[in-house]
Amino acid sequence: MEFIFKNFDCQYEVMFKPTKRSIIKHEVPEWFHDAKLGIFIHWGLYSVPAFAEITKSFGEIMESESLGYQFKHNPYSEWYLNSLRYEGTETQKYHTKEYGSDFKYEEFAPIFNEEIKKWNPEEMADIFREAGANYVVLVTKHHDGFTLWKSDHPNPNPGKENYHASRDIVGELTNAVGKRGMKMALYYSGKIDWSFDETFIEDIPTFLDNEPRQPEYAAYSQNHWYELIKKYKPWILWNDIGFPAGANKLQLFADYFNENPEGLINDRWNQIPNWARRLIRRPKISKMITNVANRFIARRRKKGKKMETPYNPLYDFTTPEYQTESEIRKHKWESCRGMGNSFGYNRMEKEEHYIKPKELIHQLIDVVSKNGNLLINVGPKADGSIPEIQKNLLTDLGAWLKINGEAIFETRPWKMAQAMTKCGIPIRFTKKKSELYMIFLEKPSQTSIMIENIQFPTIAGIQLIGSEQVIKWGTKEKTLVIETPTDMLESPAYTFKITLE
């Protein structure tokens, strides 16, 4: 199989070359800074069994467990196939009980293709628009290798020639999303593909080495990205885990940016050379990697430090998972998370396993105040319907944004992200031109609110968004005092709009 980029016929002026020096000149477009809220969609064969062990969230695992715990007790239903291959997992027990030990994972394909006949992309896009989302990231191929479009580069493995959705899910949703003024972005599992590789991941060494060893896989993966770019024109190339060692990512980036300078690439494109993977397979090296990684994490936990995603100028934004940042980041980032502990739909999760509406709204506010976007995930059922609990969370988020959205969308971080009132109410700040927004995460109970030790710019007026009441306020040195409005309705958060002179 050959790479197709040599025949990638784009009608553009060449601004970017396939070199690091050229690629790092690409700047994050304003639309992504303005967007703030995106919807992630994990939907595929794993949506048929829709099962994962009820365990800790990924964030909790990273804060308290060893690195191998994630794979043995995986909370992600989209990792069903890996968990199925891992001896003794709850997924393996569930699969044997429900489908039988001889039922192969790919046998979910005809069930999935029958179910998606019920899917309504227009209805799905309406839900996202009402939630206030400005872009959508669809998983086109997860680690199981099943694609949500019929590719001109089919899976070359025996029996996998038709390993794809019977509907063009990518194209249909792209059209529906675009009609509603949202931008479509595409996720692709670049490095991991279990339809090529039957080994399973159980620790860090097997995770690092889990890349198909067939030489044709690099071309297969890269050709898919070119096909997705040319056919669907995505606004973001959201790659996951890494990229095949033999693929030319710099050429891909240059071609993509020349095709769409307003597009973006995320940070999950790392490549591990084949010689390094051969070393990883050696038992002594493998053991050393595990020990070093666990010691590193233990030291960070002891110091109370979070696992932070390092910035790399080769990529446009970082993608911490189920985590937020502690302060304003200079470079753009995007926090991605499921509504529960899984991205794909997990039938075992009940309401108590899901994020609460207030917590979701607070997370969006916090992320935006620190120069981030929130990519909140939905995990549809096999038929494409969004579970009611997920739909309700999006409805609550959209209702708050309809009133307070001006403090979120098209804003930028202020000189500081957070503060506290004298009575202990957390505050987050955003700014826009001549407006500064103070978003209170709790309702004030006192008749006046005092914010101390902050040098505010010269204030012309203060308004509680959603209230018609005239607010009295005053400043003295580094203290701002606001008279609490008497018509404050119950809300997950309260936005005070400060107009500056």
Give me the average pLDDT of each 10-residue run along the chain (501 residues): 50 83 98 98 98 89 82 96 96 98 97 98 98 98 98 95 97 98 98 94 94 94 98 98 96 97 97 94 93 81 69 95 92 97 97 97 98 98 98 98 98 98 97 96 94 94 94 93 92 97 87
d(CA 2, CA 23): 24
d(CA 197, CA 214): 9
pLDDT of residue 7: 45
pTM of the model: 0.95
d(CA 257, CA 129): 27
How do strand 448-451 and strand 418-420 relate by DSSP bridges? unpaired
Rounded (5°) CA angle 193-198-204: 75
HSE-CB for 424 with a 13 A CA cutoff: 1
Closest to 45 (Cα-Cα) out of 121, 107, 136, 138:
107
pLDDT of residue 12: 54
Q: Is 134 exposed, middle or buried (0-12, 13-18, 19+ CB in 10 A)?
A: buried
pLDDT of residue 177: 98
Return the CATH architecture of domain 5-407: Alpha-Beta Barrel (3.20)
Q: Please give the biggest Cα pair distance in the chain.
A: 75
pLDDT of residue 5: 47
- Is residue 79 within 8 Å of 343, Cβ to Cβ? no
- 50, two tokens: 């829709």
Question: What topology does CATH give the domain 418-500?
Answer: Immunoglobulin-like (2.60.40)
Q: How distant is the alpha carbon of residue 92 from its chain centre?
A: 27
Same fold for the domain at 5-407 and the one at 418-500? no
pLDDT of residue 62: 78
Give the single-character DSSP code of 184: E
CA dist list (Å): 240 to 65, 129, 199, 311? 23, 25, 19, 16
d(CA 134, CA 22): 29
Domain boundaries defined on the chain: 5-407, 418-500
Contact residues for 79 (Cβ-Cβ < 8 A; gap 6+): 46, 52, 143
pLDDT of residue 11: 52
